[in-house]
Amino acid sequence: MSLEEHKLEIFRGLIKFKSNEQKIWGVLIFLSIVTIIEVALGIIKPDFLSVYFMRMKLLNWIFVILTLVKAYYITWDFMHMRDEKSSLKNSIVLPLVILIPYLVFILFLEADYIFDVMFEGFVSWNF
């Protein structure tokens, strides 16, 4: 792969780097900022974010979304997915994007059901 093949824009062209090496440092700064935000939120745990949304705290939703953002930039810029053909991108990302949410959906729904059974059942779990 030659130098010209690297795509040097991130944030949909908002920031354009001069070289691949510069882009790497730029992405590192971005990932560090996201991690610092995560850790700060994890330590402070602001009260207004402990509202429940779809049976999970808003704070936890923020953590999950920030993690997916980080995963995107690690894959796209560190693993050079941005420079690959779209056929390769799709054949790697699509199976994961389809299978993992499916697994999450089924198992979490079942776990919630089991919790309800144990919570409302006549068996004491705390003795």
Partner 1 sequence: MEVSVSKSYEEANVWEGGDQKPLNAGYGKLMMWFFIVSDALTFSGFLVSYGFSRFKFIDSWPIADEVFTHFPFLHGVDAPMYYVALMTFILIFSSVTMVLAVDAGHHMNKSRTAFYMFLTIIGGAIFVGSQAWEWKNFIKGEYGAVETRGGQILQFLSAEEKKRVSLSDFAIGIPTERSTQNKNDGIWFKTEKSLPEFSIDEVKKGFKANPNILIRIQKIDENGDKIVLSRDESLMKIDSAILVVEGANLVRNEYGNPLFADFFFFITGFHGFHVFSGVVLNIIIFFNIILGTYEKRGHYDMVEKVGLYWHFVDLVWVFVFTFFYLV
Q: Which helix (H) or strand (E) holds 52?
A: strand 52-53
Residues 27-86 that bind partner 1 (CB under 8 A): 28, 31-32, 35, 38-39, 41-43, 50, 60, 63-64, 66-67, 70-71, 74-75, 77-80, 84-85
Over the window 18 to 37, marking each residue x when it contacts partner 1 by CB under 8 A and - when it does not, the resulting string is: --xx--xx--x--xx--x--
* DSSP string computed for 69-103: HHHHHIIIIIS-GGGS-HHHHHHHHHHHHHHHHHH
Q: Can residue 9 be called a binding residue for partner 1 (CB under 8 A)?
A: no
Rounded to a whole number of angstroms, the CA Rg of the chain reads 20
Both tokens of 35, joined, read: 């991690």
108 is a site residue for partner 1 (CB under 8 A): yes
- State the Cα–Cα distance between residues 112 and 52, nearest whole angstrom: 15
Helix/strand/coil percentages in the chain, nearest 5: 70, 5, 25
Residues that bind partner 1 in the complex, under the rule CB under 8 A: 1-3, 20-21, 24-25, 28, 31-32, 35, 38-39, 41-43, 50, 60, 63-64, 66-67, 70-71, 74-75, 77-80, 84-85, 87-88, 91-92, 95-96, 99-100, 103-104, 107-108, 110-112, 114-115, 118-119, 124-127
